[in-house]
């Protein structure tokens, strides 16, 4: 069974996923996660892959929100006091992706954006793009799709307005 690589993320109207310092203080007005199908999505995720900036931001928020979910942090630096199930991996995302596929992961949450998204797209490991598009222009911050992201086509699956003016948009990678 093929592994599905799934980006699920909140993004500003100008395509940023965090302020320059990594903070997401501009989120929280978009209504409850249930509106975006979070519980069902999370239940179907076998593993999480994230960048170091995302890991650090999530860690700074308090209790680890993914207990027991295998999580790989793409980083060359050590992860002191990492929660159970969290491991660090440097460098080769293609090898990591192959391992997760061999391990039988049906769906992997590619969390965060920036370098990890760019690299996953470059090796053809991004199938679904699911976004909560917030009605906010930040004007600065970390882009979901940085310069150098591969030129790619997507198929619109659905787009639904949610509370607070957020859009719940789902795309599939086009052939």
Give the residues lining the site for a copy of itself (CB under 8 A). Answer: 13-15, 118, 121, 129, 135-140, 143-145, 147-156, 159, 161, 165-167, 169, 171, 174
If the CB atoms of residues 70 and 113 are measured against a copy of itself, the closer one turns out to be: 113
If the CB atoms of residues 11 and 47 are measured against a copy of itself, the closer one turns out to be: 11
If the CB atoms of residues 98 and 167 are measured against a copy of itself, the closer one turns out to be: 167
Shortest Å distance, C-beta 32 to a copy of itself: 17
If the CB atoms of residues 6 and 72 are measured against a copy of itself, the closer one turns out to be: 6
- Secondary structure element (H or E) that encloses residue 56, with its range: helix 52-60
109: closest CA among 118, 160, 100, 75?
100
* CA 68 to chain CA centroid, nearest Å: 18
Shortest Å distance, C-beta 164 to a copy of itself: 9
Q: Is 56 exposed, middle or buried (0-12, 13-18, 19+ CB in 10 A)?
A: middle
Our CA angle for 76, 120, 127, nearest 5°, is 145
């Amino acid at each position: 069974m093929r592994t599905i690589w799934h980006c699920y993320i909140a993004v500003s109207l100008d395509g940023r996923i965090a302020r320059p310092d990594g903070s997401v203080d501009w989120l929280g007005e978009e209504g409850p996660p249930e509106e975006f199908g979070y519980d069902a999505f999370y239940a179907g995720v076998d593993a999480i892959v994230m960048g170091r900036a995302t890991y650090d931001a999530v860690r700074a928020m308090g209790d680890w929100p993914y207990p027991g979910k295998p999580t790989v942090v793409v980083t060359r630096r050590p992860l002191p006091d990492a929660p159970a199930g969290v491991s660090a991996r440097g460098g080769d995302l293609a090898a990591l992706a192959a391992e997760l596929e061999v391990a039988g992961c049906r769906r992997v949450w590619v969390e965060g954006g920036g370098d990890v998204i760019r690299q996953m797209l470059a090796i053809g490991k991004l199938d679904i793009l699911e976004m909560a598009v917030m009605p906010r222009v930040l004007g600065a911050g970390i882009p979901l799709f940085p310069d150098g992201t591969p030129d790619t086509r997507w198929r619109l699956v659905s787009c639904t307005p949610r509370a607070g003016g957020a859009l719940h948009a789902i795309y599939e990678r086009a052939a």
